[in-house]
Amino acid sequence: MRTLSACFMLLIAYQLSLAAQDDASAKDLKLMQGTWLTEFVESNGKPANDKEKLVKFKITFQANKYILYFNDKEFTKGTFKLDAGKKPSSIDATPSDGPFKDKVQPGVYKFEGETMFINFGKPDSPRPEDFKTKPGTDQVLQRYVRGKGKK
């Protein structure tokens, strides 16, 4: 009987932890909504160069969908999924067009006030472990600042 009670209590604890993860992911999803201006920070273990710093992207998040703009023209779009229960929080983006069409791009994300950081790896590569890129990985760390603009 004690074993059954212990198993039941573990099951409840597990379900509560899943609910807490879902709540945290839902909260982050809500924070992510809207338009963000994008800046490259680093890639492949190197800080963004002067040319990369001039590149300006804009991204909009609506529900679990995103659209990435380059010079106010749609560049790519897709869906994403958050898991705030992982440390660091994880994001999986799946473009619906372009060279990575229908391939999951693993990443990690964090918020710092009105700034968001996302470190993405290429599809079929290991998920980045933190907010620094590593040489030879094709990881890209970007800073997103909440902005205004066309959706």
pLDDT of residue 17: 39
Beta strands at 140-146 and 115-120: parallel, antiparallel or unpaired: antiparallel
Query: Could you identify the residue written with the tokens 């950081």?
Result: 117
Nearest to 110 by CA among 95, 93, 124, 90: 90
pLDDT above 90 (res 41): no
Q: Which of 17-21, 60-64, 123-127 has the lowest mean pLDDT?
A: 17-21
CB 68 within 8 A of CB 57: yes
Q: Output the six-digit token pair for 63.
A: 């529900």
Domain count, the chain: 1
Helix (H) / strand (E) element for 6: namely helix 2-32
96-123 burial: b if 16+ Cβ within 10 Å, else e: eeeebeeebbbbbbeeeeeebbbbbbeb
133-149 average pLDDT score: 88
pLDDT of residue 19: 41
Q: Say if 78 falls within a structural domain.
A: yes
Q: Say if 20 falls within a structural domain.
A: no
Q: Which of 7-21, 72-86, 127-141 has the lowest mean pLDDT?
A: 7-21
Query: Could you identify the residue written with the tokens 């992982």?
Result: 86
Instruction: Identify the three-state secondary structure at position 94.
Output: strand
120-142 average pLDDT score: 93
Partners of residue 59 on adjacent β-strands: 36, 68
CATH number of the domain bearing residue 86: 2.40.128
Check whether the bond before 88 is cis (ω within 30° of 0): yes
Q: Say if 22 falls within a structural domain.
A: no
Question: Percent of the chain having pLDDT more than 70?
Answer: 83
Q: Output the six-digit token pair for 14.
A: 């597990």
pTM of this prediction exceeds 0.75: yes
23-42 average pLDDT score: 92
More confident residue, 17 or 135: 135
Q: Say if 6 falls within a structural domain.
A: no
Domain that holds residue 114: 27-146
Mean pLDDT of the chain: 85
